[in-house]
Amino acid sequence: MKSSLNSLTNPIFLLVMSLVILASSCNDKTSDQKGSYDNSDSCELITVSDVRSVFDLSNQVEIEQTKKHDEICYYKWQSPENPNLEYTVRFAFAHWAQKSEAEMNKTWETQNKQVYSKHNLQEVPGIGDKASWSEYENGQLRVTEDGYIFYISIYVKPKNENPLNTQDLIEKTSALAKAVIKKM
């Protein structure tokens, strides 16, 4: 018993135990906490599981994940209800490093004026720092979060047979954006 008490008062033992406790507490992350995006592989921020969940797809539906230019992520699959329909989710970050809030606001307003206002721009509340939907590129959710801007689009081919209306597209891209933000 005496040797057990001595080990508890040993400074090296106390230091090691403190470090172990500190290290284990740093690794505990609740599901409500956001990750820490380091601007590396953005394709890890939307997973095939996220796509399955948002589109209610079973594991039998094959989803192909591809990447272009090392930064634009695509998720493609055939509709299980209508094999003639091909769905694609496109996800990309803007091409710059993290910006300050003032820089983000200026960029956001410039993009609104020069591009998005011509494409039926509408605010989407409750997503990131700011979010908007527009008909740019056949429909796109644009989101700012923590100094970054990212874009999510859903394409259906053939376009004239798309069963998703604008509200469906906004809801699905918003759900994917929330998954991205949670991992950032």
- What is the pLDDT at residue 182? 95
In a domain, 35, yes or no: no
Q: Does residue 145 carry a pLDDT above 50?
A: yes
**What pLDDT digit, counting tens, does each position of 79-102 carry?**
999 999 999 999 999 988 889 999
In a domain, 37, yes or no: no
Q: How many domains does the chain have?
A: 2
Containing 169, the helix (H) or strand (E) segment is helix 166-183
55 & 9 share domain: no
78 & 113 share domain: yes
- What is the pLDDT at residue 95? 80
- Determine the structural domain holding residue 72 and report its residue range: 42-183
In a domain, 125, yes or no: yes
The encoded tokens of residue 140 equal 């796109």
Please, which residues have CB within 8 angstroms of residue 149's CB and are 6 or more apart in sequence?
93, 94, 104, 107, 108, 142, 143
Average pLDDT, the chain: 84
58 & 1 share domain: no
**What pLDDT digit, counting tens, does each position of 104-122 carry?**
999 999 999 999 999 999 9
76 & 55 share domain: yes
95 & 145 share domain: yes
- What is the pLDDT at residue 34? 46
Residue range 150-164: mean pLDDT, rounded: 95
- What is the pLDDT at residue 41? 75
- pTM for the whole structure: 0.78
68 & 121 share domain: yes
Angle between helices 11-27 and 2-9 (to 10 degrees): 70
Q: Are 89 and 74 spatial neighbours (Cβ–Cβ below 8 Å)?
A: yes
- What pLDDT band is residue 36 in, cutting at 50, 70 and 90? low
Residue range 13-29: mean pLDDT, rounded: 38
- Of the candidates 171, 176, 138, the residue with the CA atom closest to the CA atom of residue 42: 176
24 & 49 share domain: no
The encoded tokens of residue 50 equal 């996220």
24 & 47 share domain: no
25 & 59 share domain: no
